[in-house]
């Protein structure tokens, strides 16, 4: 039977040694494949291959393309050259990253394009330090710059020297363009403007308001008027006339509190009807008051002898009265209920006289709705309570339970 154990025991002059192997791996059937660690060096030395001491390899000329996958990094300083294939330039692509821990790509010298080349694309922020020059080569293709950002007045400054010539361009469009003009203080509110009319005359102002003259037909305006409005006559020698409408209510005229001069009330012929109607209404009111006083108030004031006699009786020997009868209750309510420690009630029935209570099988504590104390109703005891509603009484026991019998009218 063949030995299929992954490790082989080798007999060495009476001793044994264990050699690590894989048994029956892919490509090898029913056989051991020994596991070997790589060591390099001269015949008198050996260095194990690790991540810190990798296996030295020389890349020689190959007839086919050598493919490399994964990241390729160099140790120390090394050069990357841009080769040429005949007369065609092979571009060298340089890419940065926005990940943390990396520094921007630094360029020393010139950055220039080539004839019939691809424009140099720049994304993200671009900083020009120490006067770096970006230009094209002689008889070459101009360097195109795409992307970027708008200049900001808070971060950027532009200095223009010499004569600036402008060619081409276009007219500004109201639908597409906007122009911002800054004042001398750097803000946008300190720009002096002179307004002129169509004839060239200056349009005046008063303080912060613009003088406006309304010419032509009138206009409609909504105004807010205080609840109390004072009206005075500019010429004190001429009276101020207040007139009401013919079919309207009476006009009330009130003098100023503390004024020295009296208030004169008069009316013209046009308002005579309204004032006369108001005076007639007041006369009818006065007549009604006089009738009320003569027919109802005066008899009470003059015939007061009986009132005095009643007062003397109440404060002296008393008033004799004879009771001829009284109304009996028309309904009688009876029943019983079990009362425990948690308490109970008999409902909210309206009563005319009261309720008779009896405790059976234990003592019951009776409490009024508006009282803090209790009455102890002993077992077998009968109690009558005057009340107008069953809800005025509540019941509990100190322990156990008892039956409460009642009859109410």
**pLDDT tens-digit map of 259-284:** 445 455 544 444 444 444 444 556 66
Size of the chain in residues: 409
pLDDT of the residue at 32: 83
pLDDT at 93: 66
Res 313 pLDDT > 80: no
At residue 137 the predicted structure's pLDDT band, cuts being 50, 70 and 90, is: low
Residue 346 has pLDDT above 50, yes or no: yes
Return phi, psi of residue 366, to 5°. -105, 130
Terminal alpha carbon distance of the chain: 116
Q: Residue 357: name the closest of 372, 341, 335 by CA.
A: 335
Could you give the CA distance from residue 96 to residue 79 in angstroms, rounded to a whole number? 18
pLDDT at residue 92, rounded to an integer: 67
The proportion of the chain whose per-residue pLDDT surpasses 90, expressed as a percent, equals 19
375-377, strands of its sheet edge to edge: 375-377, 364-368, 393-396
In this predicted structure, what is the pLDDT of residue 267?
A: 46
> In angstroms, what CA-CA distances link 388 with 260, 299, 328, 393, 394?
67, 42, 14, 11, 14
pLDDT tens by residue, 34-48: 888 899 998 888 999
- Tell me the pLDDT band of 157, cut-offs 50, 70 and 90: confident
pTM of this structure: 0.26
Could you read off the pLDDT of 80-92 as tens digits, one per residue? 666 655 666 666 6
112-147 in b/e form (b: 16+ CB < 10 A) is bbeeeeeeeeeeeeeeeeeeeeeebeeeeeeeeeee
The pLDDT tens digits of the residues spanning 203-232 come to 888 877 888 877 777 778 888 888 777 777
Burial of 3 (0-12, 13-18, 19+ CB in 10 A): exposed
User: Chain-wide mean pLDDT for the chain?
Assistant: 76
Q: Which band of pLDDT confidence, cut at 50, 70 and 90, is reported for residue 330?
A: confident
- pLDDT of 407 reads 95
| Contact between residue 402 and residue 362 where contact means Cβ atoms under 8 Å apart | yes
DSSP category for residue 196: B
């Amino acid at each position: 039977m063949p030995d299929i154990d992954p490790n082989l025991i080798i007999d060495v002059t009476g001793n044994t040694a264990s050699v690590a192997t894989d048994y029956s791996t892919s490509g090898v059937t029913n056989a051991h494949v020994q596991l070997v660690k790589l060591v390099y060096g001269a015949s008198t030395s050996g260095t194990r291959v690790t991540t810190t001491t990798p296996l030295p390899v020389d890349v020689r000329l190959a007839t086919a393309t050598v493919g490399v996958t994964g990241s390729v990094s160099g140790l120390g300083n090394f050069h990357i050259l841009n080769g040429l294939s005949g007369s065609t330039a092979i571009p060298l692509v340089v890419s940065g990253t926005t990940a943390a821990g990396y520094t921007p790509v630094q360029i020393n010298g010139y950055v220039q394009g080539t004839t019939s080349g691809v424009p140099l694309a720049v994304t993200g922020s671009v900083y020009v330090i120490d006067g770096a020059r970006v230009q094209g080569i002689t008889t070459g293709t101009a360097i195109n710059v795409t992307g970027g950002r708008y200049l900001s007045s808070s971060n950027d400054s532009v200095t223009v020297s010499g004569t600036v010539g402008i060619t081409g361009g276009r007219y500004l469009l109201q639908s597409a363009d906007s122009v911002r003009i800054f004042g001398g203080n750097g803000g946008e509110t300190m720009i002096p403007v002179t307004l002129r009319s169509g004839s060239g005359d200056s349009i005046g102002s008063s303080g912060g308001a613009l003088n406006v003259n309304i010419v032509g037909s009138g206009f409609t305006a909504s105004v807010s008027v205080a609840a109390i409005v004072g009206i005075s006559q500019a010429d004190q020698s001429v009276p101020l006339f207040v007139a009401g409408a013919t079919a309207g209510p009476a006009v009330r005229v009130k003098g100023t509190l503390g004024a020295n001069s009296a208030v004169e009330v008069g009316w013209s012929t046009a308002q005579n009807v309204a004032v006369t109607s108001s005076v007639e209404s007041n006369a009818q009111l006065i007549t009604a008051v006089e009738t009320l006083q003569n027919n109802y108030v005066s008899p009470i004031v003059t015939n007061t002898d009986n009132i005095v006699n009643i007062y003397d009786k109440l404060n002296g020997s008393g008033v004799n009265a004879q009771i001829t009868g009284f109304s009996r209750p028309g309904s009688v309510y009876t029943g019983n209920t079990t009362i425990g420690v948690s308490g109970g009630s008999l409902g909210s029935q309206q009563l005319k006289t009261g309720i008779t209570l009896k405790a059976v099988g234990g003592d019951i504590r009776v409490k009024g709705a508006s009282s803090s104390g209790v009455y102890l109703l002993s077992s077998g005891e009968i109690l009558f309570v005057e009340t107008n509603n069953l809800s005025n009484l509540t019941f509990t026991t100190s322990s156990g339970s008892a039956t409460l019998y009642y009859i109410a009218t």
